[in-house]
Amino acid sequence: MDNIEGKAWKFGDDVDTDAIIPARYLNTSDSDELAKHCMEDADPTFAGKVKAGDIIVAGKNFGCGSSREHAPIAIIAAGVACIIAPTFARIFYRNAFNTGLLILESAEAAKAIEDGHEVAVDPATGTIKDLTSGEQFKAQPIPEFMQKLLDDGGLIEHWRKRLAS
């Protein structure tokens, strides 16, 4: 994964998947369509303002609620490169890995980084730098098994290889 540098968009605790992509838009799984409504019920202006490579910095339990994979799909299609939060809801956590959305757990970074700060992330080391404040953080390491799935190109590629051999 390439290094990431973008603007931080801050959200609070317990951002649920209904806020990330409301059910009124779930009559499609088209990623570009979903992207137009990304985070709409948390910040209706977000989808219009976010730029490719930007970073969501949120509070605890990000992605709680529904299992809808439309949530990480909408976030990726909106251009978000990475989410930093103290914790992620468990289904969202799996879905993020399965859809290729980089998520990093760091309570310190999630607290310290302010809205609008420029942030750089090195996915290989989990290093998070707040370029505006100069602070640096280290995310929780990605579990070895999840890293292997990522290295394989995701769950579907992992199984495709296994089924072919």
Which residues are near another protein by CB under 8 A?
14, 16, 18-19, 22-24, 26-29, 40-42, 44, 60-61, 64-70, 72-73, 87, 89-91, 94-95, 98-99, 143, 145, 154-156, 159-160, 163-164
Q: How far is the CB of 64 from another protein (least distance, A)?
A: 6
Closer by beta carbon to another protein, 121 or else 150: 150
Contact between residue 90 and residue 64 where contact means Cβ atoms under 8 Å apart: no
Q: How far is the CB of 97 from another protein (least distance, A)?
A: 9
Q: How far is the CB of 76 from another protein (least distance, A)?
A: 13
Alpha-carbon distance 87 to 101, whole Å?
15
Alpha-carbon distance 80 to 133, whole Å?
21
Q: Which residue has the tokens 């990093």?
A: 104
Closer by beta carbon to another protein, 65 or else 126: 65
Closer by beta carbon to another protein, 3 or else 147: 147
Q: How far is the CB of 110 from another protein (least distance, A)?
A: 14
Q: Where are the alpha helices (DSSP H) in the chain?
A: 17-20, 31-35, 46-49, 70-77, 90-99, 107-112, 144-151, 155-164
Q: How far is the CB of 5 from another protein (least distance, A)?
A: 28
Closer by beta carbon to another protein, 40 or else 130: 40
Other Cβ atoms less than 10 A from the Cβ of 100: the count is 14
Tell me the residue length of the chain.
165
Q: If you compute the radius of gyration of the chain from its CA atoms, what whole number of angstroms results?
A: 15
Closer by beta carbon to another protein, 118 or else 152: 152
